[in-house]
Amino acid sequence: MFTQQLEQLTQIKQAMLQHAKGLTETQLHYKPAPNKWSTAEILYHVMLAEKGTLAYVKKKLHYGNIPPVPWTAAWQMLLLRIVYYLPLKFKAPAAVAVFPNDITLEKIQTDWADTRSDLKVVLQNMDAATAALGIYKHPIVGRLNAAQMLDFLLFHCQTHRKQIQHLHK
């Protein structure tokens, strides 16, 4: 279950990190404007979003009482996907938009690898009935099942990968 989505997430993560490895420290921390993110901050944000997602899922699994996914979730995900591809900017939730001053690529890689490993274990140990429930609550869309959550993580990564590529054209 979820093998293909996890493989796609891994490929995007590796491509983002590989690109970052080719940058100098100055390029890695370059901000095109004071209110814009550097490549290091973008990578940290994506890693932190995945880490926060995993923490939320673990919490829901621990405490149980997982609500069902509303029938509107598929439509809301489609709408969110469309909105992500429009040239609109959204303010990230504060929990994933505060960065330490000493972001290093090595720390991002280590934390992301640990998070991804844990995410795989959690998903592999999840039965199909639980995976179909609303184990994740997106800040805009609301309750999502495991497959929808992974879809969100995929296009979230893809969006930020494009942002990084645009930053270094």
pLDDT at 88: 66
Q: What are phi and psi of 137, to 5 degrees?
A: -120, 105
Tokens of 80: 């969110």
pLDDT digit string, tens, across residues 56-100: 999 999 998 899 999 888 888 888 888 777 776 777 777 777 788
Could you please state the CATH topology (level 3) that the domain comprising 3-167 is classified under.
Four Helix Bundle (Hemerythrin (Met), subunit A) (1.20.120)
pLDDT for 97-133, tens place per residue?
A: 778 888 999 999 999 999 999 999 999 999 999 999 9
Q: What pTM was estimated for this model as a whole?
A: 0.92
Query: How many residues are there in the chain?
Result: 169
Say which range, 20-24, 75-79, 134-138, 161-165, has the weakest mean pLDDT: 75-79
What pLDDT, on the 0 to 100 scale, is given for residue 99? 87
Percent of the chain with pLDDT over 90: 70
Look up residue 166 and give its two tokens: 């645009």
Average pLDDT of 17-43?
A: 94
Average of per-residue pLDDT across 46-61: 96
Q: Where in the chain are the domains?
A: 3-167
Residue 52 Ramachandran class (φ > 0 left, ψ -120 to 50 alpha, else beta):
alpha
The β-bridge partners of 143 are 137
- The count of other CB atoms within 10 Å of the CB of residue 47 is 25
